[in-house]
Every structure is written in C-alpha cells, then in structure tokens.
C-alpha cells in the first residue's frame, strides 16, 4: 500500500491504524494503543460508539445531502439542542473548526459595517493562540511559525497579550468590531483564560459595540465538564465557534450567535455546500444526546479530579513535571524534558498523546473514558517517567 500519493503536510508517526473500539485503537499489525489524542479532542465518545454507528446507518439509508435551498429535519433538531443548551439564538452549520472561525470573523466584520463607522473593522486576537490554517483564521492566530510563509495575511487585525488586561484596554477602541479568544488555549499549551480578563473583554465589547467571539473548537462540547466552555467561566460571548467533538469524529462545525450578532448576516452573505447536511446533523444530534442525556458530561468533573490527583502524584514522585494544568479532560503536563521525546516514548509504550506549546504534552481522552482506562494510561505514563529518570 503506497503512501507516496499523499501530500507531505503532516509529521506522521510510522503507524497505520485500521480499527478502534472505545478508547483503544489497533494498527494493521494488531498492536493495541490507548488513544488519549482522540483525534485531537474530536472522538469524544471514543471509537465505533454504537450511537454514532446507528445514526450513520439509519440516516444514510434515508437522506445524506440536499442543498441549503431547502430545510431538512436533522439540522433543525441539532440546532434546537444547541440553542436549548446555550444563551444564544441562531446557528450556522459548516464542516470544520476553521470554517466556524471564518464565519465568526465575517459576522464581526459585517456587524462593524452595519454600525455606520466605516473604520469599525479591527479584529483583536491573542498572542500564542491558534484558530486554524485558512487565511482568515491564520491572520488571527498568534503564532508566527504558522503565519510567516503565507504573508501577507488579511489586514485589520491586532494582537493582544493573552490575560493582560492593560494591553487589552490599550488596544480596544470604537474601531474594534470583534475579539476572538480561546477560553483555554489548546495548541498554545493548555493555557486557561483568567476570568477577570474575559470579564474585561465582555465589558469593553459592550462599551464599544464589538462582538466577543469564543473559539471553543477544542475546549467545548463537554470537554471541560459543561457542554459549552463559556459556562465554566461565567462570561457569555456573542459568538461561539464549535466543531471537533460536535460530530464525535464525523466532520461538522458550527458557529452560534446571540440575537444581536445573528442580525449581521443575510441571504448571500455566507454559505456552505455541505453545512448542515442531514447525515452530519443526525450524527451531531446522536453525539450531543449521549453527552447530555446519556450522562457523559456529568461524569467529567469526577474523572478530571481523579486524573489530576494521580498526575500530581507522579509529579511529586519523579520530578519531571513542572505543572499539571487544564480543566475537565483537557489536561496539559508541562515537562522539564522534551515533550516530543516524551510523546514518542509514550507511543512506543502503546499510549497516544500529543504535544502543545513549548513544553506541554496533552491528554485528551474520550469523554466517556472509564476510571480503569485512566489507570491503564497512568501506568503507561509512569513507565515512561521511569525510563527517562533511570
């Protein structure tokens, strides 16, 4: 089986996977791994979950795709669940997180245009942030290593120091149309936003009639222990970008708006050929039903506390960990050793983890992971700590 026809855009491990069940995944040689990458926080119900298989099987036999010139039953169902569980009023469906960010940025720009102030087009973003790799999302990503080879990017953007209230105030004025923030920076190193910083952003947006956008693509959809991440911080944004876990592994994204923000876009302003298709929407509904009614989200806080306690014990025992950080089941281990080498050692031992930022390894287990499965992963982690401190 040739791999030469696939474009060289990822630093892939030398492994080919072919099946997975729950938190376990198996390569073509039958080797078992514990998957604590979960498609980078996407496979929130693990692999081959019965509810997802059922939704795909049943819906694919009825209707997979129609044009958005028409309504379909499934996107209406999914929208109703999202709005019922949020403080917002409208949903736009797309296919990925980057698309959800692009849509949110367009809402903010159009909102600025409608204000009557022709200069109200500035988008603020955070240093060390990550929002995607399309030109718009890349332009508000605060990491030059992703941007440099693709300049010039879009204009009308300004970087703000994350969690620096004074820098936020200094850059905010009547020409700002929107600000985009990850409640927890994922790719940047599992860095939570300070509540005071988010509260200040909310006050400034209200003062200057700008839109507060939360990028919850990695930290939302249950991962922090609430369906939406913003509920853990007590600050309500105007727009939320979601994706990843929304489909449990099936491609779907969305941005959600409150009443004020929803008025910005009118027919012709935005679109998505596959956005809100019946198949993706049916899967999203199945996933959210498991997360909410199925009790998955209700179990997150207990699992998070257990995992953090065990990791802090490893910190005390081996002296290789700087800090255990994050919320819910979005956990970062800041290391005194190379995170890439640590990740590779975990891989050899049969545990999949992924790096973030300069010194962090992320643990992103399925949200329905069991305590015994956490113990299995912790044992493999301890084996790696033993190896690197021997």
Residue set of the binding site for pyridoxal 5'-phosphate: 97-98, 130, 215-218, 273
- Could you give the count of Cα atoms lying within 13 Å of 234 in the half-sphere of its Cβ? 6
Which residues neighbour 357 within 8 Å (Cβ) at sequence distance 6 or greater? 128, 185, 187, 188, 189, 190, 191, 332
Annotated binding site: 97-98, 130, 133, 215-218, 272-273
Q: How far apart are CA 98 and CA 146, in angstroms?
A: 14
Q: How far apart are CA 105 and CA 151, in angstroms?
A: 19
Annotated binding site for N(2)-acetyl-L-ornithine: 133, 272
**Cβ neighbours around 163 below 10 Å, total:** 19
Residue 356 Cα distances to 23, 37, 225, 364, 379, angstroms: 21, 12, 21, 12, 22
Of 278, 276, 221, the residue nearest 245 (C-alpha): 221
Of 276, 292, 280, the residue nearest 59 (C-alpha): 280
Q: How far apart are CA 342 and CA 382, in angstroms?
A: 11
């Amino acid at each position: 089986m040739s791999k030469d026809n696939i474009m060289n855009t990822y630093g892939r491990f030398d492994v080919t996977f072919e099946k997975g069940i729950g938190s376990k995944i198996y390569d073509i040689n039958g080797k078992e791994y514990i998957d604590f990458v979960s498609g980078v926080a996407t496979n929130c119900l693990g692999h081959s979950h019965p509810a997802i298989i059922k939704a795909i099987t049943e819906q694919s036999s009825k209707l997979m795709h129609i044009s958005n010139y028409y309504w379909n039953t499934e996107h209406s169902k999914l929208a109703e669940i999202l709005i019922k569980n949020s403080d917002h009023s409208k949903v736009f469906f797309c296919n990925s997180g980057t698309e959800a960010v692009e849509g949110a940025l367009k809402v903010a720009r159009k909102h600025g245009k409608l204000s009557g102030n022709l200069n109200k087009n500035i988008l603020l973003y955070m240093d060390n942030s990550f929002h995607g790799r399309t030109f718009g999302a890349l332009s508000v990503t605060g990491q030059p290593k992703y941007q440099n080879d693709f300049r010039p990017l879009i204009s009308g953007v300004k970087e703000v120091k994350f969690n620096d209230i004074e820098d936020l105030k200094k850059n905010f004025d009547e020409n700002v149309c929107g600000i985009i923030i990850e409640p927890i920076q994922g790719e940047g190193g599992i860095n939570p936003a300070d509540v005071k910083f988010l509260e200040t952003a909310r006050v400034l947006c209200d003062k200057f009639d700008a839109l507060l956008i939360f990028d919850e693509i990695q930290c939302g959809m249950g991962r922090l222990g609430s369906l939406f991440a913003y509920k853990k911080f007590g600050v309500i944004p105007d727009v939320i970008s979601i994706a990843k876990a929304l489909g449990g592994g099936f491609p779907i994204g969305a941005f959600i708006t409150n009443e004020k923000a929803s008025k910005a876009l009118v027919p012709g302003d935005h679109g998505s050929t596959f956005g809100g298709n019946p198949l993706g929407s049916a899967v999203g509904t199945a996933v959210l039903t498991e997360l909410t009614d199925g009790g998955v989200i209700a179990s997150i806080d207990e699992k998070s506390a257990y995992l953090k306690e065990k990791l802090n014990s490893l910190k005390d025992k081996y002296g290789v960990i700087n800090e255990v950080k994050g919320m819910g089941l979005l956990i970062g281990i800041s290391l005194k050793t190379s995170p890439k080498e640590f990740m590779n050692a975990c891989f050899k031992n049969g545990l999949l983890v992924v790096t973030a930022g300069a010194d962090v390894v992320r643990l992103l287990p399925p949200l329905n992971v069991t305590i015994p499965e956490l113990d299995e992963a912790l044992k493999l982690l301890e084996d790696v700590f033993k190896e690197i401190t021997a």
